[in-house]
Amino acid sequence: MLTIEDLSKTYPNGVRALRDVTLEIPTGMFGLLGPNGAGKSTLMRTIATLQEPDSGSITLNGIDVLRDKEKVREILGYLPQEFGVYPKVTAGAMLDHFAILKGITASGERRDVVDGLLRMTNLWDVRTQKLGTFSGGMRQRFGIAQALLGDPKLLIVDEPTAGLDPQERNRFLNLLSDIGENVVVILSTHIVDDVTELCTRMAIISEGRLLLTGDPREVIDDLRGMIWRKVVAKQEIAEIAARVSVISSRLLAGRTILHVHSADRPGEGFEQVEPDLEDVYFTILKRQPQAA
Amino acid sequence: MFWPIVRFEIGYHLKNPLLYVVGGLMGMLAFGAISSDTVQIGGAIGQVHRNAPMVIVRLLGMMTPIGLFIITAFVASSVQRDFERGTHELFFSRPVGKVRLLVGRFLGSMVVSALLFVGPILGAVCGNFAPWIDPERLGPFMISPYVWSFVALVVPNLVFMGGAFFTLAAVTRSMLATYMGVVGTLVVFGMSRALMGDLPGHTLSAILDPFGISTLRVQTRYWTIVEQNTALPELDSLLIVNRLLWMGIGLAVLALGIWWFDPARAKRARRVEPVDTGRLGFQGSLQPTTARRPPRPTLGFRLADNVKMLGHQIRFETASILRSGPFIVMLAFGVVNVIFATFFEEMINGTQSLPVTRLMLSSMNGGYLFILVVVVAFYAGESIWRDRTVKLAEVHDALPAPTWVFMAAKVWALLVVVAVFAGVGILATMGYQLFTGYTRLEPGLYASGVMLGVIPYALCAVLAVFVQVLTKSKFLGYVVMLLYLFLDDIYSALHMEHNLYRFPFLPRLVYSDMNGWGHYLEPYLWFTLYWVFLSVVLLAIGALFWVRGSETAWRFRWRLARQRLTAPARIALVVGLVGFVGTGAFIFYNTNILNEYLPDDERDRRRAEYESEYRTHMDLPFPRITAVRTDVDIFPTERRIEIRGKYALHNTTGERITEIHLSVSPEVTINEIELPPHAVTLDDRRLGYRICRLERPLKPDETVEMRFDLEVSNTGFVNNDPNDLVAANGTFFTSEDYLPTIGYNKQIELEDRNTRRKHDLTPERRYAAVDDLHALRNNELGADADLVEFSTTVSTTPDQVAIAPGYLQREWVEDGRRYFSYDMDTPIRNVYGFLSGDWEVRRDRWRDIAIEVYYHAPHDDNVERMIHSVKKSLEYCTSQFGPFQFRQVRILEFPRYRTFAMSLPNTIPYSEAIGFIARIEDEDDIDTVFYVTAHEVAHQWWAHQVLGADVQGANMITESLSQYTALMVMEQEYGRDTMRRFLKYELDRYLAGRGRDVQEEKPLLLVEQQPYIYYRKGSVVMYALRDYLGEDFVNRALARYVREVGFQDPPYTTSLELRAVLADEAPDGSEPLFEDMLDTITLFSNRVQGATWTPLEDGRYMVRLDVEAHKVRSDGAGVETEIPLDDWVDVGVFGADDSVLYLEKRHITGPVTTIEIAVEAVPDRAGIDPYNKLVDRDSDDNVMAVRKG
């Protein structure tokens, strides 16, 4: 159980990345949704001992995350949103390098772990190739492999599915859910489906504020009967948006599909749809108070 | 569309902070060079003005190699940055045209590179107006030197560097390769500087230097002070050739590069090819993934695990440095450099030294290890910022390995790099030793020498890491480390001489083959320990503030540091601090309490005070020493000596003497001085002066006894300039060092004109004029004695031999010490020395004279040569000048802390750095061993028999005549050809010495403390006199001179008397010759303008020579006046096999003369003064090839 209380962070340039965030993250998959610049990465880096909040506290099973950083790192697996590699080192050697620094110092055991992870992420065949030659997807898989080293009890993955093709993404999500049974997994993403498919708990943050937390199914249920859809022509959008609360618009074959949040049928041509997490997400974002 | 490109390029570079930082630094450097003595570039010494045109030229010239790296960055960026950023397609697809674009950019980057020199030019100009400059050392402010340097040096250098590196960068598209080119250029530059070390290499050196600096050095080598202060170098052929050559290379390479450049190639440039793994996605997708999940490993975080992590990290970090390009480039550069340095190490007159290991170590220290500063500073930055640069930091930082593992691994890796560098240096120099056929390798010495030698670089590594941890960017860290390069100068500028605060520098370390690391080792190791403790503190601080994660604001770093301040960190800090303070206190106890801490300035001040306080007593009547009896106990391992002895003091003045003054070096502890009943009216221990007022005045001709009990001890260690005279093996000190002097001791006076002015003394050291009758009472060795009776006992440890002048009477062992008793049976000059060492002895004899050489066992290569030279010299001197006064000649080797040989009565101490390790193999090599030995043996006549009065010209008698004798002995042994080469070096050193005289040049006859005149010009002049007058004439005169003035009592002889004897023996009409050679500073400028030959009907060949000849007289500062020629000068014609077809003196009366000579064989070369007997500033144009006319 990871407990976050009153976490605030303002960057020197005035950006308020976190505003009094209080959050409980239980064992299992936890999805963190939010637009770019919402403070997701700041939150994750702070949990991953890499950043200092201005105020607030984080506790993980009794460990003070902000003070006992070493203890946290011992059980942490972290995949940053953006990461590089030493281009001239091979995948095998680099993973071995991380494994040692992870604390897997017995060489026999380490070989098993490294080999296992290379196979699991399907990098076994390219383990002797230099990382500089890897494609984006391969590099991402390598990042996942290193995050999984040493069976972390707290796994933080920042936008892990970026750069993976749909098939890879699926399989990766399987893997994560598998691990997520008895450890805390925090997954930040902008792909709403990732959360729907995987997470037992989720949170939406925007502009540093926690807007919503809960079970994805429950929050979707809360919106049931309130989401309406209409296919419109481009020139109609403005008129509709002025009248009702449009939460999203998306193009489909040259026409625009509008989703509207409303207790009653908002007008002619609207049909009720089964809400999904995306509707929740957009509704919540729409509802948020403008930054003070 | 052309000028906008140039403008854009300029604007682009103007935004680069590097331009301002480096320009500013160069400016500071130039300012420092002009306004202080701290930065020594340019050569403003003695009377050369601080802002003399030549100083400015040299200074700005040196700035181009300094700016090389940054200029390269500009030009390379101009051509490379599009490819780095992928904007090349944008630029090269425009209709600008390749040539225009490239030329525009080149011009732009050149303009900015030129702007870089605004820094040093402004700095130098401002230096002119620094308020603290002594106005006497400043000439008028002139614009011309700045313009000249800019046009003749900076611009051509920029064209070369810009062209070459623009092309290199364009063609290779690799910064690494470009910097390889830079290193290559520096190697060529280094080669040209190295070639300067030897006379025949000068022309090549002048052409080879891409920066034209050596060219200027060759061209202005003989410039006098006046020339340096007023003139700018002429654009003579050498300079023009050099400038055109390198500019041409630059432009040609540029043109080639532009022609070859193919922007399209970029599209095909190496791109990362994705590897097709065949199977995308994660394995196990069809089965439960758990089936393939690896076993749960055990994670370890105990110390043992951390040590394993550390070991791994070290290997990882080290490999990343050792495999990287810049390291390999710098290593290669270093190896080339060290080989060059080695070649010219301790070269004397073009003769190399044996490549003994200590020389290998010193060339490594000089030309190799210093590169480590750059390596270490560079890689400290690279390795600390690497993870952040490649965006791997977040992964690493979230791993559980402790912070100290990361940091320690980086420091350690740098230490490994230092070790690898040192190891390669050892291999290179050992290879050099073996390559040159030298097999006495000393692995132990290599190991200790290199280990000690790299300590400063290890400390520098720690400093670099510390700096990079604390600075906000790698670049800033580099700028701070750049300051490190000037740190030594900064300390000196601030007169910070105590090693306790000169981090991270260590005291001087000198290795002597005889004495090992000797007394230098202990302070070196203590200071090492001291800085190691500080390093622990720095590293602990570094670990506390190490950036881990994305927080770089100091607010958070402080917070994190407090979190990290756990027990181990506290222990490291406390241990470091306590150790640092503890060793510091111990060092301070040694340097400042056990011993007196004397900064250079203070030493000078005391000498100045001594002079101003006590010089007034110089002419008071004092008795003279007539007999010396000493008992000297040398304790080599304790570095202590005890001197007990007595002087017989005789009143030779004819007056009643009421006071006896004594000068005793302040280094000496006076246990007791006994004189007849007296009162000590002044006892100045600080300056070493004591006045004793006798209760009963000393009557004329009365003799009294003075007894003394003195001690010289060296306890603990000192900060700088340790006592080198008393060494564990190879003690050597003279009476001048430690024995009491009666009255004022002139030797203590400061020499350097500027130092004297600074301490409010007259700028010129007051030298008695040659006609100062009063001064004729005293000889050159001092005012307190004439000839003395001498006997002594010397004791030392049983494993050593102790030596003093005189003949061994008895040797015995008592109380575990070995005693030697020496007596002189004839009176000697009042100069003697004491030596103790563990030597091998080789004995020989010449007639009834015993010859002994006491040498350090491994230094036996040249011992036979020395003995041979002693024999030849004795033979020449006895046959030519008169009998030898002693029955024995001993040569004794002493450690290289001092590098001279010295002639004491029947005893010649000889430094291990000269002669003993000279490498004389080829017939062409000048046998310096033979020469130096002959010179010292000659002193037994010229000093110990004939000694001049203490007035101007005294050194002409002792030194120039000894040079002459050595030349004659050498000529008999090696022939005239060798002498000619030898004299070329002598002439060169005389002419080069003129511009560096800190006083003013004197004619030989009136020479003062000016070695370049009394040795070098002495050789040239005496050899020429011999040539004009004949050896018989000269030697007859000298023999007569010895007979007339040898062993004389006051008044002493002078150079005027020597001149008179020479003139008296010389043939009529020699007077003008004496006038040119001895009385004045006369220089010739002889040159062949044309030489042709035509066959004659009688089968002979007619040679027609057009010669140009000038003769000038110079004053002391070098202002020359041409005087009419009316001289007999050698004219020679030579055959193809170097045979002399014609060599006779011809009467030359005008500046241009045509000479016709008929010779028997086909002439090859011909010229005027072909053997460079006259003082001629350009000795290479005297001879030229003869063409068929």
Q: Show the 3-state SS of B1139-1189.
A: CEEEEEEEEECCCEEEEEEEECCCEEEEEECCCCCCCECCHHHCEEECEEC
A206 min Cα distance to partner chain B (Å): 21
CB B873 within 8 A of CB B884: no
HEC letters along B152-186: HHHHHHHHHHHHHHHHHHHHHCCHHHHHHHHHHHH
CB B503 within 8 A of CB B534: yes
According to the model, what pLDDT value does residue B202 have? Answer: 84
pLDDT at position B289 over 50: no
Average the pLDDT over A137-160 and give the result.
Answer: 90
According to the model, what pLDDT value does residue B822 have? Answer: 97
pLDDT per position as a tens digit, B349-364: 677 788 899 989 988 8
B569 min Cα distance to partner chain A (Å): 15
Q: In the predicted model, what is the mean pLDDT of chain B?
A: 89
Query: Any idea what DSSP says for residue B636?
Result: T
pLDDT per position as a tens digit, B1011-1047: 999 999 999 999 999 999 999 999 999 999 999 999 9
Predicted TM-score of the model (pTM): 0.87
* DSSP string for B655-694: S-EEEEEEE--TTSEEEEEE-SSEEEEEEETTTTEEEEEE
Are A137 and B280 an interchain contact pair (Cβ–Cβ within 8 Å)? yes
According to the model, what pLDDT value does residue B1012 have? Answer: 95
Confidence tier at B855 by pLDDT (50, 70, 90): very high
Beta bridge partners of A10: A16
Q: Which residue of A has its CA nearest to B285?
A: A171
Confidence tier at B288 by pLDDT (50, 70, 90): very low
B528-587 residues touching A, CB cutoff 8 A = 548-551, 553, 556, 559-560, 563
According to the model, what pLDDT value does residue A190 have? Answer: 79
Query: What is the percent of chain A with per-residue pLDDT over 70, rounded to a whole number?
Result: 98
According to the model, what pLDDT value does residue B271 have? Answer: 43
pLDDT at position B1179 over 90: no
State both tokens at B53: 């045109």
Confidence tier at B43 by pLDDT (50, 70, 90): low
* Residues of A whose CB is below 8 A from B296: 151
d(CA B1002, CA B342): 36
According to the model, what pLDDT value does residue B481 have? Answer: 84
pLDDT at position B277 over 50: no
Confidence tier at A167 by pLDDT (50, 70, 90): confident
d(CA B984, CA B202): 13
d(CA B1120, CA B225): 12
Count the Cβ atoms, other than its own, within 10 Å of residue B1143. Answer: 12
Of all helices (H) and strands (E), which one includes residue B704? Answer: strand B703-713
Question: Any CB–CB contact under 8 A between A239 and chain B?
Answer: no
Are A49 and B549 an interchain contact pair (Cβ–Cβ within 8 Å)? yes
According to the model, what pLDDT value does residue B263 have? Answer: 65
Cβ within 8 Å of residue A78, ≥6 positions away? A48, A50, A147, A155, A156, A157, B394, B395, B398
Of A83, A100, A133, the CB nearest to B392: A83
* Residues of B whose CB is below 8 A from A174: 282, 285, 289
Average the pLDDT over B738-762 and give the result.
Answer: 90
* DSSP string for B87-103: -HHHHHTSTT-HHHHHH
CB B565 within 8 A of CB B541: no
Q: Closest Cα partner for B205 from B219, B191, B225?
A: B191
CB B22 within 8 A of CB B730: no
CB B410 within 8 A of CB B383: yes
A100 min Cα distance to partner chain B (Å): 6
Span between the terminal Cα atoms of chain A, in Å: 32
- Looking at per-residue confidence, does B728 or B767 come out higher? B728
Q: How many CB pairs under 8 A join A and B?
A: 178
B545 min Cα distance to partner chain A (Å): 14
Question: Any CB–CB contact under 8 A between A264 and chain B?
Answer: no
A90-109 residues touching B, CB cutoff 8 A = 97-98, 100-106, 109
* Residues of B whose CB is below 8 A from A92: none
Are B549 and A51 an interchain contact pair (Cβ–Cβ within 8 Å)? yes
Are B301 and A134 an interchain contact pair (Cβ–Cβ within 8 Å)? no
Average the pLDDT over B613-634 and give the result.
Answer: 95
Beta bridge partners of B208: none
According to the model, what pLDDT value does residue B264 have? Answer: 61
Confidence tier at B279 by pLDDT (50, 70, 90): very low
Question: Any CB–CB contact under 8 A between B730 and chain A?
Answer: no
pLDDT at position B45 over 80: no
* Residues of B whose CB is below 8 A from A48: 394, 398
The amino acid that residue B549 corresponds to is: G
Are A101 and B308 an interchain contact pair (Cβ–Cβ within 8 Å)? no
Instruction: Please state the φ and ψ torsions of residue A165, each to the nearest 5 degrees.
Output: -80, 165
Q: At what angle do helices B237-260 and B98-116 cross, to 10 degrees?
A: 140
Q: What share of chain B is helix, strand, coil (3-state, %, to 5)?
A: 50, 20, 30
State both tokens at A48: 């991953």
Q: Closest Cα partner for B982 from B994, B996, B1002, B967?
A: B967
Question: Any CB–CB contact under 8 A between B284 and chain A?
Answer: yes
Helices (H), B750-795: 753-758
Are A45 and B550 an interchain contact pair (Cβ–Cβ within 8 Å)? yes
Q: Which residue of B has its CA nearest to A143?
A: B395
Among B753-757, B874-878, B1140-1144, the minimum mean pLDDT is found in B753-757
Residue among B310, B399, B547, B552 with most chain A CBs within 10 A, to mutate? B399
Q: What SS3 class is residue B1013?
A: helix
Confidence tier at B815 by pLDDT (50, 70, 90): very high
B296 min Cα distance to partner chain A (Å): 6
Average the pLDDT over B321-331 and give the result.
Answer: 86
Query: What is the percent of chain A with per-residue pLDDT over 90, rounded to a whole number?
Result: 41
Average the pLDDT over B927-935 and give the result.
Answer: 94
d(CA B716, CA B113): 53
Confidence tier at B42 by pLDDT (50, 70, 90): low
* Residues of B whose CB is below 8 A from A52: 549, 551, 556, 559-560
d(CA B46, CA B998): 4
Helices (H), chain A: 40-47, 69-74, 91-102, 107-120, 136-148, 166-179, 192-198, 216-222, 237-243, 277-287
Are A133 and B285 an interchain contact pair (Cβ–Cβ within 8 Å)? no
pLDDT at position B132 over 50: yes
Confidence tier at B280 by pLDDT (50, 70, 90): very low
pLDDT at position B290 over 90: no
pLDDT at position A292 over 50: no
* Residues of A whose CB is below 8 A from B403: none
Of B300, B394, B551, the CB nearest to A80: B394
Are A116 and B292 an interchain contact pair (Cβ–Cβ within 8 Å)? yes
Average the pLDDT over B586-590 and give the result.
Answer: 97
Among B552-556, B997-1001, B1167-1171, the minimum mean pLDDT is found in B997-1001
pLDDT at position B268 over 60: no
Question: Any CB–CB contact under 8 A between B311 and chain A?
Answer: no
Question: Any CB–CB contact under 8 A between A178 and chain B?
Answer: yes
According to the model, what pLDDT value does residue B655 have? Answer: 92
Question: Any CB–CB contact under 8 A between B129 and chain A?
Answer: no
Are A116 and B294 an interchain contact pair (Cβ–Cβ within 8 Å)? yes
- Rounded to whole angstroms, what are the CA distances from B852 to B515, B842, B892? 21, 6, 8
Cβ within 8 Å of residue B822, ≥6 positions away? B791, B792, B793, B794, B803, B804, B805, B806, B807, B808, B809
Query: Any idea what DSSP says for residue B1064?
Result: H
Are B289 and A174 an interchain contact pair (Cβ–Cβ within 8 Å)? yes
Confidence tier at A276 by pLDDT (50, 70, 90): confident
- Rounded to whole angstroms, what are the CA distances from B915 to B366, B467, B938? 22, 47, 17
B548 min Cα distance to partner chain A (Å): 7
Handedness of CA A221, A226, A230, A233 (dihedral sign): negative
A2-10, strands of its sheet edge to edge: A16-25, A2-10, A55-60, A63-64
A33 min Cα distance to partner chain B (Å): 21
d(CA B212, CA B250): 14
Instruction: Please state the φ and ψ torsions of residue B205, each to the nearest 5 degrees.
Output: -60, -40
Q: Which residue of B has its CA nearest to A120?
A: B283
Confidence tier at B664 by pLDDT (50, 70, 90): very high
CB B979 within 8 A of CB B1024: no
d(CA B1050, CA B941): 18
Question: Any CB–CB contact under 8 A between A125 and chain B?
Answer: yes
pLDDT per position as a tens digit, B464-514: 999 999 998 887 888 788 778 778 777 877 778 899 998 888 999 999 999
State both tokens at B389: 């640069």
According to the model, what pLDDT value does residue B87 have? Answer: 61
According to the model, what pLDDT value does residue B843 have? Answer: 97
pLDDT per position as a tens digit, B591-618: 999 999 998 889 999 999 999 999 999 9
Q: Which residue of A has its CA nearest to B294?
A: A116
Question: Any CB–CB contact under 8 A between B271 and chain A?
Answer: no
* Residues of B whose CB is below 8 A from A105: 300, 304-305, 308-309
* Residues of B whose CB is below 8 A from A78: 394-395, 398
Average the pLDDT over A190-211 and give the result.
Answer: 88
Question: Any CB–CB contact under 8 A between A41 and chain B?
Answer: no
Question: Any CB–CB contact under 8 A between A121 and chain B?
Answer: yes
Question: Any CB–CB contact under 8 A between A110 and chain B?
Answer: yes
Of A86, A121, A129, the CB nearest to B390: A86
Question: Any CB–CB contact under 8 A between B286 and chain A?
Answer: no
Question: Any CB–CB contact under 8 A between B825 and chain A?
Answer: no
Among A281-290, B546-555, B974-983, the minimum mean pLDDT is found in A281-290
According to the model, what pLDDT value does residue B273 have? Answer: 46
Confidence tier at B339 by pLDDT (50, 70, 90): confident
